[in-house]
């Protein structure tokens, strides 16, 4: 009888360190503030009064459309390599809308950008041994949009990655069960809408930060493209860290990986 493994190999421990560095690095707000030299928080004053309601609607719609186009119709071609550079170029191109039209262009730009990002996330998932045909992989790809890295207010006492996973865990389990039993999730399925709403709650914070940055007059089309490139790069980093953790969990079990992660 094989005894349970009590520690990760040196190679896998180093991989987990890399994942933690990616997942717990500064979030979008800090990166954007560094880029434009202006605290994102000050831009909140520029937002319309009904911004939160509009943002919620646009973010949910964008995630639903992206899920339908990017992962529920994506083929599981294991030998295909990731195309991160192509996705960055495409996201940068859509970012020109944000730079030109600011918040007004969000309803047009965000669904396209979200779809491009989700395709990139799915590519990263496949490169780490995931099957895109698997329900849990599809949901794990969507889960990446809720991973924001550390914010300015974080005290670093807890892992933002595992806090987010706990926040989503129950809904993710129910969604996985539903899709497994019913087939591809329909847009109107209550449990799927619930998980999308929870992810949109976290994703919306980062969309707000991106939109504020793109609304600054000096940004322009070129700056909007650069901001969108940073935006997709952020989620590519989150995806890489997330799927490294998932790969190690398949090998060692989630409990050992989590305990090791938290002590690194």
Q: Which residue pairs, CB below 8 angstroms and at least 24 apart, start in 174-180?
A: 175/139, 176/135, 176/136, 176/139, 179/135, 179/138, 179/139, 180/135
The answer, yes or no, to whether residue 93 has pLDDT greater than 60, is no
Contact between 227 and 43 (Cβ < 8 Å): no
Residue 208 confidence (pLDDT): 79
For range 225-250, the mean pLDDT = 90
Using a pLDDT cut of 90, give the percent of the chain over it: 23
Enter the tokens of residue 10.
Answer: 């040196």
Residue-wise pLDDT tens digits, 141-193:
999 999 976 654 444 445 689 989 998 988 888 877 776 776 655 555 677 78
Q: How many CA atoms lie within 13 A of 5 on its CB side?
A: 15
Q: What's this model's pTM, rounded to 2 decimal places?
A: 0.82
Residue-wise pLDDT tens digits, 218-232:
555 556 677 778 888
- Lowest mean per-residue pLDDT among 88-92, 197-201, 237-241: 88-92
d(Cα 22, Cα 18) in Å, to the nearest integer? 6
Residue 56 confidence (pLDDT): 81
Residue 105 confidence (pLDDT): 64
Residue-wise pLDDT tens digits, 75-86:
665 544 555 665
25 φ, ψ to 5°?
-75, 170
Domain spans of the chain, in order of start: 10-147+155-263
d(Cα 172, Cα 138) in Å, to the nearest integer? 11
Q: Which residue has the tokens 């170029």?
A: 89
């Amino acid at each position: 009888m094989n005894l349970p493994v009590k520690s990760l190999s040196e190679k896998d421990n180093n991989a987990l360190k890399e994942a933690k560095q990616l997942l717990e690095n500064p979030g979008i707000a800090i990166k954007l503030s560094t880029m434009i030299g202006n605290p994102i928080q000050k831009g909140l004053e520029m937002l319309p009064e009904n911004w939160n309601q509009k943002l919620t609607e646009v973010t949910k719609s964008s995630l639903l459309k992206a899920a339908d186009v990017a992962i529920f119709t994506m083929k599981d071609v294991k030998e295909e390599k990731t195309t991160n550079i192509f996705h960055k170029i495409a996201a940068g191109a859509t970012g020109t809308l944000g730079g030109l039209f600011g918040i007004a262009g969000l309803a047009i730009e965000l669904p396209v950008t979200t779809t491009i990002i989700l395709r990139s996330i799915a590519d990263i998932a496949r490169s780490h041994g995931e099957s895109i045909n698997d329900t849990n992989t599809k949901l794990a790809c969507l889960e990446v949009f809720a991973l924001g890295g550390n914010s300015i207010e974080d005290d670093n006492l807890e892992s933002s990655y595992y806090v987010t996973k706990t926040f989503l865990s129950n809904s993710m389990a129910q969604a996985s069960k539903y899709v497994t039993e019913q087939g591809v999730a329909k847009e109107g399925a209550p449990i799927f809408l619930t998980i999308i709403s929870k992810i949109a709650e976290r994703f919306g914070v980062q969309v707000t930060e991106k939109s504020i940055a793109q609304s600054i007059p000096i940004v322009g089309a070129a700056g909007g493209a650069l901001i969108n490139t940073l935006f997709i790069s952020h989620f590519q980093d989150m995806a890489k860290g997330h799927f490294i953790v998932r790969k190690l969990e398949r090998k060692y079990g989630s409990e050992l990986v989590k305990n090791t992660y938290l002590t690194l």
